[in-house]
Amino acid sequence: MAFYEQHIHPKPTTFLSKYIFSYDHKVIGKQFLWYGIFFLFVGGLMALMIRWTLAFPGQPFPVIGQFLFPESGGAVPPDTYAMLFTMHGTIMIFYAITPILIGAFGNFCIPLMIGARDMAFPLLNMLSFHIAALSGIILLGSLFTPLGAAAGGWTSYPTLSTLIGSPGVGQTFWSLAIFVLGVSSIMGAVNYITTIITLRAPGMGYFDMPLTIWGLGLTAVLNAIFLPVLGSGVMLLIFDRVFGTTFFLAGAAATTGTGDPILFQHVFWIFGHPEVYILILPAWGIVSDLLSFFARKPAFASRATALSMTAITILSTVVYGHHMFTTQMSPLLTQTFMTLTMTISIPSAIFFANWLGTIWKGSIRFHTPMLFSLGVVFVFGLGGLTGLYLATVTTDLYLHDTYFVVGHFHYTMAASVLLGGFAAVYFWMPKMFGTMLNEFWGKVHFWITMMGLNGVFFGMMLVGYGGMHRRIYNPFIYEFTQKLIPLNTFTTWSAIIMGLSQIIFVVNFVHAVFFKKEKATANPWEVGTLEWTIPSPAPHYNFKDIPVVKCGPHEYGNPNLTDGRDFQYQTEELV
């Protein structure tokens, strides 16, 4: 199948060529992993400051508040609050989740799982990381500009994001950072798609690829098509801010000859809705595989799963209007978008039923990666269902811009993608770093995270349903929201618990990467995909001989298996 055989590169020897300017997809994957974990920390800290402000308005943030906000005695000031939720959203979506799921696991898994020695374009791959790093520096730099970082929300709607709404240079930096990151992601996407098309091991058809690769591949397709849309949008925003054009300045073109802020919303969501699937598809793929791996059963109807993911990918391009029901869209359009959005339920339901079908009557091994995967099944179920209320025009008119939306997308993105990411880290850890994470502490991490997370995000949905709007510094100045104070306090405590429990993970991770003596075996989880046929950690050339694929990735529990194993490798003939 592979178009050609890649050569074995000589082993890099110097520090720079090994860790900084490496062409090796595994090293680049790890770079993205550290990058993502770093930003997860920064974004998480911001989230805690936001939550603190909502639960204890006016009180100083513990420990670091005095240093960060000395002029207000340690409490988060109103303008900083807007900056915090903007940067929190931006960082989590573009600089934490994207690098971890797509940058780290995309890079790490694609060549290993399809039996290739590296990406199709290793140099492009390396540049993609360095450009992402540049973008991260621009974004962090914007925090130190005179008027502070961007504060117009992660969606950066004009007029909030034009010079009228945010005169500081921070918003310009934000736009530039997103643009640069987009370039990096598109480079990655081109690489991923080309690799998947041209470098699959001999014998591996598209349906013999693990579902992880399906998810990552579909994500790459959406990235290549829709990131340029955002790129154009933020570029015009930069023009408006720097060169004085008036694309998004208020006033209808017909009467005043100036631009239209709503146009930016269209452009943003044409990209933005596919973006939410860009984030979730890799997690879906990973979870679909892991459920089968740990239930010791073939993935139920895995072709249907792959095709449903494809159908969702295609449909996700035509539903973006559901984010704009309240922008005085014509009822014809809102209802069209509502119907199209509802149509996604069909493949989603097939897909979700397949997950349940996979674990049904399996002999489930509750290892940490499986716990996280089951967690994804639970939280994604909730997140997906709440989407239906938002997609219904009549209910959305009430729920739009409340904390219900915030709860919805945290269940779908923060919860599902984060848990999926953790599942992946625990699962591929031996292949990445050659050691296993501690199972006991992994389970503790899971349960505390899971409880904290549901407390936070369910709390958000409840206060949103109660009418609390998002992005307000002190929502309790309204009388009807004062009853929601206890619930907000509960949410904040849940967030603090969830945040603190990540320390368990960090310690576990750092210990396993740097200090653990005990090495992992080549195939600790007893899984048959190609990356488990080679030693742990994967050698720099991956496969000494390019493997030949003879069966699918989910061959478990076949009664014809005789040698005491309940799985078979993809390189083995189906028994």
Partner 1 sequence: MATGNLTLNEEKIEVRRRALTSSVAMSIVMVSFAMVFATLMLGYFAYRFTSEVWPPMGMQRVDLGLPTVSTVLILLSSLTYFLSESSFLQKNSKKFKAYFWLTFALGIVFMAVQSWLWFSLKKNGLFVGSGVFASMIYGFTWIHAAHVVGGIVALLCLIPSVRNKREEVSTSLWLKNIGMYWHFLGIVWVIMYFSLFVY
377 binds, among ligand HEM, partner 1, Cu ion, none (CB under 5 to 8 A by kind): none
Q: Smallest distance from the beta carbon of 316 to Cu ion, in angstroms?
A: 8
* CB distance 229 to 271 below 8 Å: yes
Distance CA 119, CA 197 (A): 11
Q: Is 413 in the site for ligand HEM (CB under 6 A)?
A: yes
Looking at the Cβ atoms of 341 and 570, the one nearer to ligand HEM is: 341
Looking at the Cβ atoms of 66 and 256, the one nearer to partner 1 is: 256
Q: Smallest distance from the beta carbon of 319 to Cu ion, in angstroms?
A: 6
Q: Is 323 in the site for ligand HEM (CB under 6 A)?
A: yes
* CB distance 179 to 238 below 8 Å: yes
Q: Is 555 in the site for ligand HEM (CB under 6 A)?
A: no
Name the 3-class secondary structure at 402: strand
Residue count, binding to ligand HEM (CB under 6 A): 22
Distance CA 145, CA 139 (A): 11
Rounded to the nearest 10°, the torsion over CA 387, 290, 184, 173 is 50
Backbone angles phi, psi at 354, to 5 degrees: -65, -35
Q: Smallest distance from the beta carbon of 158 to partner 1, in angstroms?
A: 13
Q: Smallest distance from the beta carbon of 125 to ligand HEM, in angstroms?
A: 25
In the set 181, 280, 299, 429, which binds ligand HEM (CB under 6 A)?
Answer: 280
Please give the residues from 341 up to 370 whose contact with ligand HEM meets the rule CB under 6 A: 341, 344, 348
Q: Smallest distance from the beta carbon of 417 to partner 1, in angstroms?
A: 24
Burial class (CB in 10 A: 0-12, 13-18, 19+), 394: exposed
The closest alpha carbon to 320, from 269, 368, 363, belongs to 269
Q: Smallest distance from the beta carbon of 243 to partner 1, in angstroms?
A: 6
For 109-132, the three-class secondary structure string (H helix, E strand, C coil) is HHHHHHCCCCCCCHHHHHHHHHHH
Q: Smallest distance from the beta carbon of 4 to ligand HEM, in angstroms?
A: 36
The closest alpha carbon to 553, from 526, 520, 528, belongs to 528
Distance CA 80, CA 533 (A): 51
Q: 263-268 long-range contacts, Cβ below 8 Å, gap at least 24?
A: 264/157, 264/158, 264/161, 264/233, 264/236, 264/237, 265/155, 265/157, 265/323, 265/324, 265/327, 266/320, 266/324, 267/229, 267/230, 267/232, 267/233, 268/155, 268/156, 268/157, 268/230, 268/233
Residues that bind partner 1 (CB under 8 A): 3-5, 7, 120-121, 186, 189-191, 193-194, 197-198, 224-229, 231-233, 235-236, 239-240, 243-247, 252-254, 256-260, 263, 266-267, 270
Distance CA 463, CA 460 (A): 5
In the set 100, 138, 227, 391, which binds ligand HEM (CB under 6 A)?
Answer: 391
Q: Is 279 in the site for ligand HEM (CB under 6 A)?
A: yes
390 binds, among partner 1, Cu ion, ligand HEM, none (CB under 5 to 8 A by kind): ligand HEM
Q: Is 400 in the site for Cu ion (CB under 5 A)?
A: no
217 binds, among partner 1, Cu ion, ligand HEM, none (CB under 5 to 8 A by kind): none
In the set 400, 431, 540, 554, which binds ligand HEM (CB under 6 A)?
Answer: 400
Strand partners, 201: none
Q: Which of these ranges, 74-82, 104-112, 140-148, 385-393, lies near ligand HEM under the rule CB under 6 A?
A: 385-393
- Residues in touch with Cu ion (CB under 5 A): 273
- Residues in touch with ligand HEM (CB under 6 A): 155, 276, 279-280, 322-323, 341, 344, 348, 384, 387-388, 390-391, 396, 399-400, 405, 408-409, 412-413
